[in-house]
Structure 1
Amino acid sequence: MKTTLKEIADVIRSKNAGPYELTFDIIFKTQEDFEAACAKKIINEEVMAGLYRIPVSDVINIIEFKPAKAIKATIVRPMASGELGETDVYGAQQHAPLVDLEVTL
């Protein structure tokens, strides 16, 4: 089934994980969609690197957390929080590329 992440997730959000990292939470609507997403590794290092135009080595981790039907991904921030020229001090607006990500379950 081809869909977008926003169709199968209740929550897609981003936030700081310290001044040098961003973390993304994807909380799925159903256990079935969560399990399919995990099985197919729809959120992986290459996907995150491509969406955020960073090297794969800047993807710190991707964690599947079954009790919450969630996937958490953490990346190195392209600019430190509050650095001159940085436009999202809290990292709260960085999830947008994930919203329309097309996935196949």
Structure 2
Amino acid sequence: MNLKDYVVETVTWQAKQGVSTEDMSAAIDDMLVDLKTLPGFLHESLCQASNGDWMQLYYWETEHDAQQSSALMAEKTSFLQLLSLIAPDSVAIKVYTPVQASSEIAFT
């Protein structure tokens, strides 16, 4: 896949007090079932920093696909469950257009 064939969306957040890594991972797994049905979805990776902060990388076909994903997920039970685990004021979302890559990316 060429650089111009996708965009990368980052979503960072902090979990609410008492939410375990297992709880967060399970909620993401549940949400992915719905997310994978959205237009332009290519891939997702969930990451956790040593300080407990979370980051999710989403790969979308277009910036429009990335931007409309929140609206399309807003009423899904899986998304609402995930939001119940997240400190609301900690969420940050950005969409990036790749300009360099060490190799081509293949999403399966």
Structure whose CA Rg is larger: 2
Interval containing the TM-score (normalised by the shorter chain): 0.3 to 0.5
TM-score normalised to structure 1 length: 0.43
Of Structure 1 and Structure 2, the greater strand share is in 1
- TM-score between the two structures when normalised by the length of structure 2: 0.43
